Amino acid sequence: MTDAHQEQAAVVAAVALGPLRVAVNCAGIGMASRTVGRDGQPHDLDVFRTVININLIGTFNVIRLAAAAMNKTDPLADGERGVIVNTASIAAFDGQIGQIAYSASKAGIVGLTLPAARDLSPAGIRVITIAPGIFDTPLLGLMPETQRQALADGIPFPKRLGYPADFAGLVEEIVRNDYVNGETIRLDGALRMAPR
């Protein structure tokens, strides 16, 4: 996500397989650090830049490259050329202590969703963002089961971690439903994160 040439190569490879109609941005990292640590030291500026560069700038770069490729395709019967689905996080709204860089990067993705959808509407390209909550990912798979269960117990309903199929199902619905545009959709079982 920090190499614009690799992102361009991925778009070129996708176009070679057929017209590019759907792009899904899922890459992201998080590095925990307080604005001022308990030791009195300020947040490392390079860490903040790295998170913003990967999560926000990398996402924007894929948006612009995919949109340019989609813009060259013939529109479908309804005028649509494609859809771009970005991944934010509920941390964009409920950032926890130590998540300042991550939350800022994901809030940036939320913030660019509507203007990107408006910018790309004349070309028939939709832009939507999904803000997932706590999902059962390989990273969480490294946690002890008691910690995983504690996370699941904090989710109002359903009392479980999100499944990759939940995310994929929402992407499928977004692709199918051409009236969804310019919106960020929380996918979190009604979870609202506490400060810690």
Show which residues are catalytic. Answer: 102
Cα–Cα distance list, 98 to 59, 136, 196 (Å) = 22, 21, 9
Of 43, 53, 45, the C-alpha closest to 3 is 53
The DSSP bridge partners found for residue 187 are: 132
**Helices marked H in 72-180:** 91-94, 100-120, 138-141, 145-153, 164-176
Q: Tell whether omega for the bond before 158 is within 30 degrees of 0, i.e. cis.
A: yes
